[in-house]
Amino acid sequence: MLSFFFKLLLSHLVGDFLLQPTKWVEHKTKKKIRSPYLYVHLLVHFCALVVILQTSYWVGIFAVIGSHYLIDLFKLYFTKPYNERLLFIIDQLLHILVLVGVSYYYYPQDMDLDFLITDQMILFFTFLIVVTYAGSVIIKYLIAPWDNEIEFDNKSIPGAGKYIGILERLFVFSFVLLGTWSAIGFLITAKSVFRFGDLNEGKNRKLTEYVLIGTLLSFGIAILSGLLYNYCLTLIK
């Protein structure tokens, strides 16, 4: 079943991302059901499915195409500037659920998801949450006492600091798991060049120290999580 699912997923990725120009997306957003590119897009998906699956799964192919059409229409008519990202995620999740359903239709006897709930996977996803969103909350509370002493400007992108922190912790966590400590040093150096250079030019000592504390906490959480994950992994093997 997994092999069949990944074939479906490959065809979806080819049709939705590789062979869908921005021009098509913009035209569909504007014209919606009247856009010819909506139907060209479906034809691309159909061709990708036929090429990858051959001609032995017509029911599944038409189920995927039909559901894709309905899901895309839902997204086109309900997407607003304030919910664009959310509907994109929902759109992709619905497509993937359809692919799972079609896979189960053809291979119900192979439906085994035990690999998703092993001790190793539970441990990994636990630490993944700690490193990403839990880490952001921890850092926010730890540096909160100095918030009133810092003068923030409105020049940065709203929420950018949070997502930069999440990404850097994911990188550091991955580097610890792989044992590539030199890459962590490179990442710290790169961030120092881009971040602290700008802060020093602004002559804002308090903000520089504030950001430095947040950065060191972020790296510390990621490194400690990586080391603890590796240790816990040895205990459950």
pLDDT, tens only, 126-138: 999 999 989 998 9
Instruction: Report the range of poorest mean pLDDT among 30-34, 139-143, 154-158.
Output: 154-158
Whether 120 and 224 map to the same domain: the answer is yes
User: Which tens digits make up the pLDDT trace of 187-220?
Assistant: 888 877 776 655 555 556 677 777 788 888 999 9
pLDDT level of residue 77 (50, 70, 90 thresholds): very high
Whether 121 and 225 map to the same domain: the answer is yes
Give the end of a domain, one of 110, 139, 163. 110
Q: Tell me the residue range of the domain where 188 lies.
A: 115-236
Distance CA(8)–CA(22), nearest Å, equals 23
Whether 175 and 80 map to the same domain: the answer is no
Whether 189 and 101 map to the same domain: the answer is no
Whether 232 and 120 map to the same domain: the answer is yes
Q: For residue 167, what are the CA distances in angstroms to 131, 162, 191, 222?
A: 9, 9, 12, 11
Whether 148 and 168 map to the same domain: the answer is yes
**93 in Cβ contact with 194 (< 8 Å):** no
* Cβ-proximal residues to 166 (8 Å cutoff; 6+ apart), any chain: 131, 132, 133, 135, 136
Higher pLDDT, 176 or 202: 176
Whether 149 and 96 map to the same domain: the answer is no
Whether 93 and 128 map to the same domain: the answer is no
**121 in Cβ contact with 115 (< 8 Å):** yes
pLDDT level of residue 174 (50, 70, 90 thresholds): very high
Higher pLDDT, 84 or 195: 84
Whether 203 and 221 map to the same domain: the answer is yes
Q: Decide if pLDDT at 51 tops 80.
A: yes
**DSSP letter, residue 82:** T
pLDDT at residue number 65: 98
Distance CA(158)–CA(140), nearest Å, equals 15
Whether 73 and 129 map to the same domain: the answer is no
Total domain count for the chain?
Answer: 2
